[in-house]
Amino acid sequence: MSKTTPLVRKPAFVFLPPVVAAGVGFALIFQGVSFGAPNFEILEQRRAARVEQGWTPPTLELTDYLYPRLATGFAGSEWVVVNKHRPLSPLDFEPKVREVASSEALDNSRGLELRNVAATALEQMAAEMFSEGVGQLFVNSAYRSYEYQKDLFVSKTEQYGEAEALVRSAKAGYSEHQTGLAVDVSVPAQGCAIMQCFGDTVAGKWIADNSWRFGYIVRYEQDTTAVTGYTYEPWHLRYVGIDIARKYSQDGIHTLEDFWGYPAAENYPEITESTLD
């Protein structure tokens, strides 16, 4: 029987292929400068031609950027727009959240949670309110999971009936609270907790006037039900980021639907006006 000769790989055979492959990879990357890269001269010529034809270049306003508007469809985006026509994707989306920190300015004794950016902004807003003598903010509701919202909607339906529940609470997967960017607040010492009269309290008025400075808006304002699908909720705040909130306030906008140019979402698509009678 002949002996089998062990296979001995020469160093060049072992190391050379990876080195060559790496070299080709780097070459392709750096060649992007010379081939495959956009020809800015041609792009500029095309832009100039469009201007001559009467095309008006868009202003560099926030709402003119393509990315922010596209991001309104991403559940994980601070700009996501959720309403009865725009469910979260995925429907059972779960954000990364943390507990809002309690302090002399903010009572979160229930241990409720928000996404970090929204929690930090709420803590800062509460501190400002407290320093101005407006009162201690209380967190009534914050992040709600898909399952929690599902049970809540059933409870509201049993309590008020379907028609009333539809303007008081969202179905699971259609709630801003599920994004981790929405919070319900009150100032117990001034009464009207989770009531429309909260908007007439010192705290409610301060929040309506100043929440934008911290990236929040009052999401469901008075007389906007036909657009948002929900009754007036001066206690329901939605974090959208300071840039959006500032422009929203300065331009006198009252709904996110109007801000982003989305159609009204008074009812769920499968629900007609007759269902609400």
What are the residues facing 183 on neighbouring strands?
Answer: 237
Model confidence pLDDT, tens digit, residues 188-216: 999 999 999 999 999 999 999 999 999 99
Residue type, 181: L
Spell out a b/e string for 229-254, using b for 16 or more CB atoms within 10 Å of the CB, else e. bbebbbbbbbbbbeebbebbbeeebb
DSSP state of 83: B
Mean pLDDT by 10-residue block, N- to C-terminus, for the chain (277 residues)?
46 42 39 39 61 57 63 94 95 96 98 98 98 98 94 86 80 94 98 97 98 98 96 97 95 95 90 43
Query: Percent of the chain having pLDDT more than 70?
Result: 74
Query: pTM to 2 decimals?
Result: 0.74
Q: Are 219 and 238 in contact (CB under 8 A)?
A: yes
